[in-house]
Amino acid sequence: MQLSSLLQKFNEPETLKMAKLGRALRAEGIDITDLSLGEPDFDTPTHIKDAAKKAIDDNFSHYTPVAGYLDVRQAICTKLQRDNNLIYTPEQIILSTGAKQSIANAVLAIVDQGDEVIIPTPYWVTYSEIVRLAGGTVHFVNTTIENGYKITPAELEVAINEKTKLFMFSSPCNPTGAVYTKDELTALAAVFAKHPQIFILSDEIYEYINYNNAHESIAQFDFLKERVIVINGLSKGYAMTGWRLGYLAASADIVRACDKLQGQFTSATCSITQRAAIAALTGDFTPTQQMVAKFKERRDKVMRLLKDIPGLVYNEPPGAFYVFPDVSYYFGKKTPTGDTIENADDLSMYFLNTAHVSVVTGKAFGQPKCIRMSFATNTETIEKGFAKIKQALSALQ
Ligand code: PMP
């Protein structure tokens, strides 16, 4: 069968691959402890579900404008002003079927064949693959644990050349949980000020999962705002991963370009989800605060559990719901069956097949010395998973 050459240009997400392998083992009756998930384990808050039920009864069953209903886009503008002190108009907002599609739209709208895109590592798996799909070239900049896995202005400056078209990052970051402070963004913005051809994609999907309550957006700098694409959505902050609603705030030109692309791919996201989004964006924020408080408790528990495992190097994540320890201490050691653990891929597969815990290899995020463990799951699962991992590591020689 002759399929398109486009398929050779990018990889399947490692996160989804791990979920698939875990499901296959579970189907064989094996008890898999899942620390690989990238989604809240909570249910969607009741007032949001009620709004969706009402939307069904009120017959919101037709196609909506590609960019989304005007009142949802207005609610997003209100949210951006309320939470981020950012002024946008509805023409500068476009909804999609998830932050993932918003990112794809933005990259396809901006990146041409041969353009370079700077991505600090570790980064979310999809960034590099979307750039490759668009025909762009990825320029990775490796950040260090000493700098909290954040790119410095000097590192950014060195990476920029005449081909650089876009810079992509997330804060809070998946997989490291790193959160950029206002001072750090100010310093990066000063570098971008010298390079007016570069767009900045700021993925803020974990905005609310922030344990220091200090979310800052790089769109706050007026001299940069025209070139910033803010990505956000409902998946993480409102436990709505399956509902599929992401959005993008940017200049009206970029939004029009995304509208054109999306008009051919998916049209708008689901009408019912859009009605529910108004309840999420304007309604009671207490359920989100309660979820974040739970994530923080779990983060603190994970920090205590990590202390008990020798050889891991990590920092405390100030945001998101992952820990990303450096596990290279174990590279070169042998499993009880005589296999050598060469890298984080081998270690993840050893955990899955022997200890029956699923985690994600750091290679997927551009840092092959690390593994990503999610704490978006209940305390019992976290304790069980960490106990299995500790045991499996102690069996290596
Ligand atoms: N950006 C980051 C950093 C993410 O971790 C995720 C989800 N794992 C997304 C975007 C996509 O979210 P959505 O469900 O809205 O497509």
205 touches ligand 1 (CB under 6 Å):
yes
If asked whether residues 274 and 295 sit together in one domain, one would say no
Which of 250, 266, 282 marks a domain boundary? 282
CA distance 135 to 181: 32
Which of 282, 315, 343 marks a domain boundary? 282
122 touches ligand 1 (CB under 6 Å):
no
If asked whether residues 93 and 213 sit together in one domain, one would say yes
If asked whether residues 352 and 242 sit together in one domain, one would say no
Q: How many residues does the chain have?
A: 397
If asked whether residues 292 and 253 sit together in one domain, one would say no
203 touches ligand 1 (CB under 6 Å):
yes
CATH value at residue 25: 3.90.1150.10
Q: What are the mean pLDDT values of the chain's consecutive 10-residue runs (397 residues total)? A: 91 82 92 92 97 98 98 98 98 98 98 97 96 96 96 98 98 98 98 98 98 93 98 98 98 98 97 98 97 97 97 97 98 96 95 95 94 96 97 97
What one-character-per-residue DSSP string does 209-233 give? Answer: -BTT-----GGG-TTTGGGEEEEEE
Domain around 82: 46-282
If asked whether residues 227 and 250 sit together in one domain, one would say yes
- pLDDT given for residue 20 in this prediction: 86
- Identify whether 122 is preceded by a cis peptide bond (ω within 30 of 0): yes
Say which amino acid occupies 166.
L
174 touches ligand 1 (CB under 6 Å):
yes
If asked whether residues 278 and 389 sit together in one domain, one would say no
If asked whether residues 66 and 187 sit together in one domain, one would say yes
What one-character-per-residue DSSP string does 307-348 give? Answer: HTSTT-B----SBSSEE--B-GGGTT-B-TTS-B--SHHHHH
14 touches ligand 1 (CB under 6 Å):
no
Q: How far is the CA of 335 from the centre of ligand 1 (A)?
A: 34
Nearest CA to ligand 1 atom 5: 174
If asked whether residues 217 and 308 sit together in one domain, one would say no
Closest by Cα among 336, 255, 331, 300 to 77: 255
* ipTM confidence: 0.99
Element (H, E) at 119: strand 116-121
Which of 282, 317, 338 marks a domain boundary? 282
If asked whether residues 18 and 119 sit together in one domain, one would say no
Q: How far is the CA of 172 from the centre of ligand 1 (A)?
A: 12
CATH value at residue 204: 3.40.640.10
If asked whether residues 110 and 145 sit together in one domain, one would say yes
Residue 89 CB coordination number (10 Å): 12
For 320, list phi and psi in degrees, rounded to 5: 60, -170
If asked whether residues 272 and 375 sit together in one domain, one would say no
- pLDDT given for residue 105 in this prediction: 98
If asked whether residues 12 and 81 sit together in one domain, one would say no
- pLDDT given for residue 13 in this prediction: 81
- pLDDT given for residue 179 in this prediction: 97
Q: Structural domain tally of the chain?
A: 2
pTM: 0.96
